A and B are shown apart, each in its own frame.
Chain A
Amino acid sequence: MLWLKAWLETRWRVAWALMIGILFFAMPIISTRNAPSTTAAQVRVALLMFLIVQAAIFAAIMLAGSGIHTASTRAGASDKGAERSMIFTLSLPVTRLRLFLVRTATGILETGIFLAILFTALWILWPQPTTSPRDALGYFAMVAACSLAVYALSACLSTFCDEGARVRASVVILIVPSAFVFRAGRSSVNTFHDLALTTHAASGLIIGTAIALAALFFAAAILIIQRRDY
């Protein structure tokens, strides 16, 4: 039943994420509708590869509210209902760890399915003769691993922040280091360069680092929920 509860609490966020995903898909199509067909296809794919990363980050943050957090009744807002009812959930014969794992697994599953839908649509709609399935899968793995790290960071924040603060903090934490990266010399995002990474050892390094970071954030989240008072 905890799975059902987790799904009921996140289903609107999944719907939102899918709507944003559709919007991200529509943007390159609309913006290149008057361009010559060969150029249009290349630009569309380039844009989509870039937008998929944004969509993945967006979905990961959106669906990562799996930490166990309780809101005060004084918080007032009606959308705090799920957080306020956490006291009832915690009073049931269920461990904090199990509750966290179910909520986290539901969110990861939802994010994974969202990404899979996006990549499948991309692959079906715009097959690239220059991109092998292996490269595409490698790129998917890299985006998925990085999304997992973002998800874990946001899930960790959700153990002590309410929903609004969690989303804001996640965005700020992601933007600040990105700004330094851009200032350090990479002034634009070259999607084909990113795609090329899949054939490079750097791809494995990125995936490994992302998974290690995710593990670190999840471990921190578990430590926090085991120790904190509700």
Chain B
Amino acid sequence: MIAPIIEIEGLRKSFGSRVALNGLDLRVPTGSVFGFLGRNGAGKTTTIKHLLGLVKADAGAARIFGQPVADPRTGLSIRRRLGFVTEDKELYPYMTVEGMLRFTRPFFPDWRLDLERRYLDLFDLPPDTAVSQLSKGMRSKLMLLLAISHGAELLILDEPMDGLDPAASEEVLRELVGMAADQGTTIFFSSHQLPDVEQIADHVAIIDRGRTLIWGNLDDIKAHYQRLSIVCAGEPPVDIGRLDGIESIRRNGRMLSILVSRNADAITAQLRQSLGGIVERFPVTLKELFLEHVGNNKCSG
């Protein structure tokens, strides 16, 4: 098994009375494209900031490249090997695009001019334009360019597609997938654009209220989770929810929609036997999974 590039164990962080992280656990496999999902305020940005050494945790630990992020000395060498795109895409408004490149290059000894030129052309960034004149989408591209051009082993991207039009977003997604495939770069990104995540991510984590709800290989998750649809001939038994593997049940008249996370075959057989109707099985989308978990967690809270 390949060692995880990011390991987070029991991370806790509170800001006053507000709990941002409540025992978050996560492992990001090396070389993966990892979608980090959650509602606003779920703890995504706090987690990312902790990984970058910007926020100190109250408890728990996080390691990148096997080194603790909380230690300022290792934190420095970690940041030299990763690229970061901030949530708000704020750069220095008084510098030009070329100025930003000139400023950033010296911090990274392995800066690659070939990558810089390639992405400057690809993203169509005008070198002499001031950052203050760039749209949010253009600033996103510039940040991505700065994050990529030093040949980072790990990219941590906080809402990288935010502000990009659909065409630019598609272009960026394609490049990210290409980087992961060609150079083995691990991409850890948060996003609210679930179709985008589903398009490029091979691993996902859904967090809510500072805790990890589900995480793992996206194909495995989707293979395990299925939606069963059954029309009951009579009244559905009340104890149906006790079957092992049933995550949630929705009733609409005689129609039952059941989300299962495992034992789909056994549950299907049992439903056929006890309810006597036709059970149909459907694959679930990431959006369904997200809404199911985050929605349930919201109701249970």
Contact = CB atoms under 8 A, between A and B. Distances in A.
7 contacts: A73-B88, A78-B132, A81-B94, A87-B86, A93-B108, A230-B54, A230-B55
Interface in A31-90: 73, 78, 81-82, 84-85, 87-88, 90
Interface in A1-54: 1, 4-5, 8-9
A92 interface: yes
A74 to B, nearest CB: 10
Given A85-B93, A93-B76, A93-B108, 19 more contacts: A1-B103, A1-B107, A5-B92, A5-B103, A73-B88, A81-B93, A82-B92, A82-B94, A84-B88, A85-B90, A85-B91, A87-B90, A88-B84, A88-B86, A91-B52, A93-B79, A93-B107, A95-B72, A96-B72
Contacts of A5: 92, 103
Contacts of A84: 88, 90
Interface string A84-120: 1101101111111000000000000000000000000
Nearest to B84: A91
A1 B106 contact: yes
Contact of A87 (B54, B95, B104): B54
A87 B104 CA distance: 14
Contacts, number: 71
B245 to A, nearest CB: 41
A91 B54 contact: yes
B15 to A, nearest CB: 8
B274 interface: no
B192 interface: no
Interface of B: 15, 49, 52-56, 72, 76-77, 79-80, 84, 86, 88, 90-95, 102-104, 106-108, 132, 143
The 10 nearest A-B residue pairs measured at CB: A81-B93, A84-B90, A93-B80, A93-B79, A91-B84, A85-B90, A229-B55, A230-B54, A73-B88, A1-B103
Interface of A: 1, 4-5, 8-9, 73, 78, 81-82, 84-85, 87-88, 90-96, 227, 229-230
Contacts of A78: 93, 132
Contacts of B104: 92
Contacts of B106: 1
Contacts of B92: 5, 8, 81-82, 85, 88
A189 to B, nearest CB: 39
A8 B94 contact: yes
A91 B90 contact: no
Given A88-B143, A93-B79, A1 B86 contact: no
A87 to B, nearest CB: 5
Contacts of A9: 94
B79 A230 contact: no
A82 B93 CA distance: 7
B220 to A, nearest CB: 32
Contacts of A90: 52-54
A229 B56 contact: yes
Contacts of B52: 90-91
B54 A88 contact: no
A138 to B, nearest CB: 40
A94 B90 contact: no
A18 B97 CA distance: 30
A158 B150 CA distance: 32
A82 B92 CA distance: 6
A1 B92 CA distance: 13
B52 to A, nearest CB: 5
Contacts of B88: 73, 84, 87
